[in-house]
Amino acid sequence: MGRLFRTAPLTCTFLIVFWTVGALTGAIGGASDELLGLVGFGSDAPLWTVLSSALWSMDLLGYVATTVLLLAFGPLAERSFGALRTAAIFLTSHVLGSFFGLGVVLLGRDVHWSWLESLVGEVAAGPSIGGVGLALALTFRLPPLWRRRVRLLMILSVLVLTLYSGWLEDVLRLSGGVAGLLIGALFLKRGAEHTQRSLQETRVLVALLLAASALGPVVAMMSPFPNGPLWWFADVVAVVQPSQDDVDAVCGGGADTVELCRTMMIQLSYGRFPAFVMSLLPALLLLVLAEGLRRGRRFAWWSALVCNVAYSAFIGWYVVDAARIPDIGAVEVVFSYSVPMLAPLAITVVLLLTRKHFAVRLPRHAVRKFWRFTLGSVALLSALYVFGGYLVRGQFSPEPGFAELLADLPTRFLPPGYLPGLVPLQFSSEGFVGTLLFEYTGVVFWLIVLAGLLMASWRAWPTSCEKEAAHARDLMRRYGGSSLSYMTTWRGNQYWFTPDGENAIAYRVVATIALTVGDPIGPSRVEAVRGFAEFCARNGWTPCLYSVGTETREAVEGLGWSAVQVAEDTVIELDTLAFTGKKWQDVRTALNKAAKAGITAEWCTYADAPYAITDQIRSISAEWVAEKGLPEMGFTLGGLEELTGDGVRCLLAVDGDRTVHGITSWLPVYADGEVIGYTLDFMRRRANGFRGSMEFLIASAAQQLQTEGARFLSLSGAPLARLDRGERPRALQRVLDLTGQVLEPVYGFRSLFAFKAKFQP
């Protein structure tokens, strides 16, 4: 807190005053009408209230939201502009935004727009007017990527609140944002570079636009008193639930009110959970499609386009219906009913203009599987509703026949907001089973569909072949790489190549993360990383380079990526290795004890080893896995399958009875077509065998490979363990350190790191 106060004194001081004034005047729990009448700004308020209104907010939500807004952008603004200029921008945005907004309200009154007419005489208070302006003015000093994101997010947020909530403070907040943009354009713009939007950035912006359109009706539905020009569009999301007294009054009115009574009985159920989920269905569908757009999926583009065209048609139906009402004038039809069509039409235009950015197609087999699953769900749930409903038809009022249940079936899959006026409501449910079928059929179906669409957005379908794997192995032998490069040849990896085929990156897609292992292979690693990043962007993946060296890390810093240490590689230089001195005492002890016990180190390849040996290796490995209680980690830690790799050598600790006490595997490290070193991978020790077998095997490998001319041995990295160099770790590094501590009793990462330290890497 002290650090924040030092870096942003103006923001902190204002927030302290803001909350103190609110607490002293009782405004935090909700400002009274008397207080707002004194300090709030409006058409009938004194001019000085344009300043006093910045010290209060309307309710607790306003206080919290304003605090979050100012804490997010206030410190950044103070560092960029200084305290005085920040105060000037905030105050100017607040004053200009308040007067601009009030001018719009008075203009709307003159043209008889009922929404703006309703705001005349209202008052508003809240520093969020200036806060939004400050945030948008600050975007002129942000990097291009964040400039566009912050602008779109802020503008969409205030626009949604204005169109759906629609009270005076919402209008003034939108005007404050416009004032902030004007201030930034006139006084803060400084020859900033105009970079072209990247493919990924365009996808994110379009997805944000679609998500905002989805959340707008939800804002109106959640607001206790929605007043914006699109407030009635919340009826598409949910129908107002009548009170029990209203239902009783209508249902007791005789034969003339039977149909209305039935409708209100059904609407009474809209307050229950199933109807609430169905009410949110349009928003949930658009949010899922927004995630698909963010990933560049073509199916999401088509689905979003169809949804917005359908919304436009649906609103058009309302407009045509409203135009027939004699009491509604042409101005009201244009502003209050036609304006809502602009949102889905605008999104439709944006989707059409950005079509080429959403070109990631699903494989045909995935599309067929999705449709089979969806249509199968429809068939199963439909049969369950119709036939099950017929068996318990006594639990419906009035009692339906088979034909009535079949005719009502389509309404089970529609949100409540689409039913009144479009689909006649035939009957309501009363009993438990009948209510279960009546209310949950659509919920189950749409949850299945949404889950399927979300999985289609996230899932990747591997397309690598043996030819690509063979080419990657050839590049690894020719150009070499890091001590982990051999792991790129393991099964489960896919391969990306540069256009000339001379550089490769091995990766596997987990959800939407393209996770690589080791450094790029080839002569042009920097270009390979940049090309791979573009490849991931086209496919809607986030690249994550795992276990790379300093050269690769420095190459990606220009891309704005962050790095964190996940392991500590332990390398033994063999040219100067000699097990002399006190620091090698433990290693010499292991060698001497092995010699006294008659244990020798023998090289072999797993594929060519006799069955008596491989059977013992499998048994030792199974025993080790069973003791851990958790599965083998895989990925950068090999198992039995990886022992069969080409060039992998195994070193066994064997006694005179041919009993295997321990086994290690060594992966070759190449450079210019030759093996220059080895990396330790597989390590297993018999539970009741020679206790120092691992020290003995590693020391024996070092001695024998030294005589063969190898340059180094890598004992590989100990995951989630690192050498403390006295540096202050960042937040993510601290999380990884904590994870290593939590998993230590099971996997022993730190114990492994301490063990490898015996070899003085």
pLDDT of residue 339: 67
pLDDT at 389 over 60: yes
What's the N-to-C CA distance of the chain in angstroms? Answer: 42
Q: Which CATH architecture has domain 466-563?
A: 3-Layer(aba) Sandwich (3.40)
Q: Peptide bond preceding 75: is omega within 30 degrees of 0, i.e. cis?
A: no
Q: What is the mean pLDDT of the chain?
A: 82
Give tens-digit pLDDT for 109-141.
888 888 888 899 899 999 999 999 999 999 998
Give tens-digit pLDDT for 260-269.
676 666 666 5
For the chain, the farthest-separated pair of C-alpha atoms sits apart, in whole angstroms, at 108
Give tens-digit pLDDT for 511-527.
788 888 888 898 888 88
182 contacts 126 by C-beta, under 8 angstroms: no
Asked if domains 2-195 and 466-563 share a fold, the reply is no
pLDDT at 549 over 90: no
pLDDT at 417 over 60: no
Residue positions counted in the chain? 761
pLDDT of residue 153: 87
- Please report which confidence band the pLDDT of residue 554 belongs to, taking 50, 70 and 90 as the band edges: confident
Burial class (CB in 10 A: 0-12, 13-18, 19+), 514: buried
List b or e across 538-552, with b for residues whose CB sees 16 or more CB atoms inside 10 angstroms: ebbbebebebbeeeb
**Token pair listed for 731:** 């937040």
Domain 2-195, what fold?
Rhomboid-like fold (1.20.1540)
**Token pair listed for 7:** 């870096």
- Please report which confidence band the pLDDT of residue 192 belongs to, taking 50, 70 and 90 as the band edges: very low
Higher pLDDT, 563 or 104: 104
Please report, for the chain, the start and end positions of each structural domain, with discontinuous segments joined by +: 2-195, 466-563, 570-759
- Please report which confidence band the pLDDT of residue 57 belongs to, taking 50, 70 and 90 as the band edges: very high
Domain 570-759, what fold?
Aminopeptidase (3.40.630)
Q: Which residue's entry shows tokens 């907040």?
A: 173
Question: Lowest-pLDDT range, 73-77, 152-156, 622-626, 735-739?
Answer: 735-739
Give the bridge partners for 513, in sequence order. 510, 542
Give tens-digit pLDDT for 664-721.
999 999 888 888 899 888 888 888 888 888 888 988 888 888 888 888 888 776 665 5
Q: Peptide bond preceding 398: is omega within 30 degrees of 0, i.e. cis?
A: yes
Give tens-digit pLDDT for 423-449.
566 777 888 888 888 888 988 999 999
Q: Is the dihedral of CA 159, 161, 163, 166 positive or negative?
A: negative
Give tens-digit pLDDT for 7-55.
889 999 999 999 999 999 999 988 888 999 899 999 889 999 999 999 9
60 contacts 29 by C-beta, under 8 angstroms: yes
